[in-house]
Structure formats: structure tokens, C-alpha cells
Structure 1
Amino acid sequence: MNSITNQPPRSFLRPISWVIALGGLLLLFLQPWAPRNPALDELKEQWTVAHRTRNLTAMEALFHGDNMDDAMRSRWRTVILQEFDLRLRSVKMKSLPDEVTSAPQAEASFTPVAQMTVYYDDPNRFTVTYLIGKNPSGVHRILLF
């Protein structure tokens, strides 16, 4: 400590600033090589395009709804149409931990692998989180229970 200015000597601050700068650069340059799942990225992009173009048929194709009856399918279409009224801010995809993906599934043909969170640009900061599943052939769908 410098007794006059009550600050640490500059020789102490210089190495700390280099460590912080190097850490920031490593984070910046290593981010593109982080593990990614192209199938999940594709599902996220398809969802975003279907929402922005308000394409009900394309949106329905992204959901696993084989076990829905006609009344449930009609209610689900109404929910999708209501979501089309909201302006999309962003969509984030997050993989689930291994202990969740290896647990017994409610839907036998799909294993939960990720969750997709949709953020809408509205005054209430409305968000929706969907569970993403993968079937044995590698197809990813949004699961409805």
C-alpha cells in the first residue's frame, strides 16, 4: 500500500488485469467450440421460423401429439394461435442433466433430452418452457403430457 494515496502499487494491478483480460479472451474465442447438438439447434430454428411466419401446420409438426384426441388437439391449436399474438424476443435451448434423461419416461417412445424456453417481448415478460424429447431414431419433438 502506498501510504500517500492509499492504493495498492501498480505492479500488483498489472498481473491481475492481464489475468482478467486473458480469461475474457478465452471465453470469447472458446464459445463457438462449446458442445452443441445440431438437431436441437435445428428444432429451435424451425420453432422460431414457424412462430415468426405464424405457420400453424409447421408449428404442430414440431410437437409429439400422437396420443391426442380431437378435442385436445383443438385446444392445443388455440394455445398456439394465442402464442402467435405475442412478439418473440428469444428462444434458448438447454440440455437436461444425465440423471433426468435416464429416468423412466412417461412417454415410452421419447426420452427427455432438453428444455426449450421461449421468451416473449411483452410487458409481463411472459415465458414458456417446453420439454424436448428424442425417440430411438433420433427425431426431436416437443413433448406434451
Structure 2
Amino acid sequence: MSMKNPPAKDQTFGGKTVLLGGDFRQILPVIPQGSRADTVLASISHSYLWNICHKFALKVNMQVNQDEKEFSEWLLKVGEGRLESVEEDEDDDYHEQLIILDNSLVQESKDDSLKQVVDAAYGDVNKIKASQSSYTDRTILTP
């Protein structure tokens, strides 16, 4: 950037606008052999750049249908660590992070589980119209 605009070398990101998005509770950096504190301290919200960023909060959880309010609230509780933990005799961080999962959210399968996920999201792929929206309306998102 500084070739065409010399002052850009002193600007954050070379003067370019950069959009960062996501749930920073779920998208954490990987610190090999690091503790939980190491991971948190390495996140973007602890960077020297964070104070010069403009922050916008999204108010509507678009990951779930709005008629699934109970599930949406459950997801927020998981993200904020407000669910009760599994009671274990172990005194370690691993067991502290286990949560009790409602059985209504679990679907056991004896068949190929990946095929079931794809079939649930896309149905019969031979019947999908070849338009961009037919694919973007049916997307499987994973962290």
C-alpha cells in the first residue's frame, strides 16, 4: 500500500478497511501447550489493535430459526458458560468444561451419520435447482 500512498505504511492494515466477524467465544486461537489464560490473552480482543477497532454487535441469532427460541437461548448459555456442568469426581479443567446435554438434542444413528447430515440439509441433490440461492439457503456450517 505504501508504494502508492507513502503514509499508509504507518497506518493500521496499511489504511485498508478490514472486517473481522465471528463469535470470539468460539473462534479462539490455538496455542500449543497453552493454558486457558494463554489462549484468551492471544485472542484478537486482547490485541493492541482492539482499542482502535469499531465494534458492532449483532442482535439477532441468525444461526437458528427464530421460532426455535429455546434452542437459541440454550446456545447462548453454552457460549457464555452458564449451563450446569457434568458432576465428576475428577478435579481438572477437562471435566469442568463438560455440560449436560438434553437428550432431545441427540439423534443416535446406526447408519452413516455424515450422509444423514447431508440428506437433512440438502435432501435429494438431484432435485435441487442449479441456482446460487438453492445452495446458499442450504449450508452446513462448522467451526
Same-fold call, TM > 0.5?
Answer: no
For Structure 1 versus Structure 2, the TM-score category normalised by the shorter chain is under 0.3
Which protein has the larger Cα radius of gyration, Structure 1 or Structure 2? 1
| TM-score (ref. length: structure 1) | 0.23
Query: Of Structure 1 and Structure 2, which has the larger fraction of its residues in strand?
Result: 1
Q: What's the TM-score once normalised by structure 2's chain length?
A: 0.24
Greater RCO structure (CA 8 Å; 6+ sep): 1
